[in-house]
Amino acid sequence: MSSVAELVLALAARPRDVDGRSFVIALDGHSAAGKSTLGGKLTKEMKAAVIAVDDFYRDEPEDVRLSYDAALGVRRYFDWERMVREAILPLRAGVAARYRPFDWQAGHGLGDVVTIEPASVVIVEGVYSARPELRPLLDVAVLVQAPADSRLRRRRERHDAHEWEARWDRAERLYFTTVSPPDSFDFVVSGIEQ
């Protein structure tokens, strides 16, 4: 079992006043830092339920997205309000989550309904997952870090759109410097080797 999983299990086992609800952990970090890889390992080790922030990419016309500056991108790229309503709150309460994820293949619209069964540990995985608006719903916020050159290489390997790199990077830099800086997280871990 990884040290992060051991830590999360130890924290989840501590007595706390949570009314029997699930323990919620955010895995946040820059694009291609290793959040999904770590989330996958933790899911296997802890039998956790996972909410992918990417499923809640906001379905808007591309020209609207292109008009966003970094600050508006941080607020609008992902529909975190819908994620709270349709996924975090139900799973936190021990109820299955049902929602329609963004259709990444089509590049627009929402896909078929997915169901995530409840678990004692819920992982919210993706950039912006520890945003201040979500903090009251989280038990632990983990920042997954990786060197910028490694993240760029990984993004290119998975064929992220080059025209979005600068725009996306500006929004992430703003988020991790002013909205959710590293010292606001409970833990910081390396994601590349996960």
Mean local confidence (pLDDT), 45-69: 91
Does the pLDDT of residue 7 top 60, yes or no? Answer: yes
d(Cα 117, Cα 122) in Å, to the nearest integer? Answer: 10
Q: What CATH code is carried by the domain that includes residue 106?
A: 3.40.50.300
Work out the burial of residue 52: count CB atoms within 10 Å of its CB; fewer than 13 is exposed, 13-18 middle, 19 or more buried.
Answer: buried
Domain extent for 15: 3-190
**Residue 138 in contact with residue 24, Cβ under 8 Å?**
yes
Q: Where is pLDDT greater, at 39 or 128?
A: 128
Q: Where is pLDDT greater, at 115 or 155?
A: 115
pLDDT of res. 44: 82
Q: What is the mean pLDDT of the chain?
A: 86
pLDDT of res. 176: 95
Q: Where is pLDDT greater, at 126 or 15?
A: 126
Work out the burial of residue 149: count CB atoms within 10 Å of its CB; fewer than 13 is exposed, 13-18 middle, 19 or more buried.
Answer: exposed
Q: Which pTM was predicted?
A: 0.88
pLDDT of res. 38: 84
Q: What are the tens digits of pLDDT across the range 159-178?
A: 655 666 778 889 999 999 99
**Domain count for the chain:** 1
Q: Which of 185, 140, 142 is nearest to 22 (CA)?
A: 140
Q: Which of 88, 75, 86 is nearest to 136 (CA)?
A: 88
pLDDT of res. 194: 42
